[in-house]
Amino acid sequence: MKTFKLMAFHLLNEDTLQPIHIIDGLTINLEDSHQTWVLELFIPNEYYSIFKTLQENNTVFDAHAVISFPDNEPAPFSVIVSTINEIGDRLSVLLKGSIKARRQKYAEQLLQQLLEEGLTNEELLQRFQHDMKERPKLNRQQ
């Protein structure tokens, strides 16, 4: 088992990333035969209804988590809400799931898409850096 600091967390809502403000968090790779990961989010109470709905519907959802260092690329996860515990005016939300396989050749596909948009050199660099970190869905998957 390996434990990592959770630096940032986003829910993937269709093609939009919804940032979740985390006060603290852990990411645990159980290193089991099912390649299970556990994410614990310590968050403000304002997110209760979002996670309670996901839990009640037993929804499997996609999320992005930045692990260990703020500048690391977000890791894509597919998770469910396991438990929600209220601690004062905050929540401890336990998610269980797996890390999703990274899209192969993502950088090359992103660069091709951005080149086709006809961006200036500076715009191209800024968008490439931003999109490599945020990993939006590409217009065409190869």
Looking at residue 83, which CATH number applies to its domain?
2.30.110
Specify the number of domains making up the chain.
Answer: 2
Regarding whether 56 and 12 lie in a shared domain, the answer is yes
Confidence tier at 79 by pLDDT (50, 70, 90): very high
Q: Any idea how long the chain is?
A: 142
Regarding whether 121 and 65 lie in a shared domain, the answer is no
Tell me the C-alpha distance between 132 and 136, whole Å. 8
Regarding whether 142 and 91 lie in a shared domain, the answer is no
Regarding whether 84 and 31 lie in a shared domain, the answer is yes
Regarding whether 65 and 24 lie in a shared domain, the answer is yes
Q: What is the pLDDT of residues 1-48, one digit of tens each?
A: 999 999 999 998 877 889 999 999 999 999 998 889 999 999 999 999
Q: What is the pLDDT of residues 89-125, one digit of tens each?
A: 999 999 999 998 755 577 888 888 899 998 899 999 9
Compute CA distances 120 → 88, 107, 113, 114, 134, whole Å: 50, 18, 14, 10, 21
Model pTM score: 0.73
Regarding whether 38 and 73 lie in a shared domain, the answer is yes
Regarding whether 81 and 17 lie in a shared domain, the answer is yes
**Model pLDDT, residue 34:** 87
Domain that holds residue 38: 2-99
Q: Where are the alpha helices (DSSP H) in the chain?
A: 48-56, 106-116, 121-134
> Mean of the pLDDT values across residues 53-67?
95
Residue 69 has pLDDT above 80, yes or no: yes
Regarding whether 45 and 7 lie in a shared domain, the answer is yes
Regarding whether 110 and 65 lie in a shared domain, the answer is no
Residue 140 has pLDDT above 80, yes or no: no
Least confidently predicted of 1-5, 51-55, 89-93, 130-134? 130-134
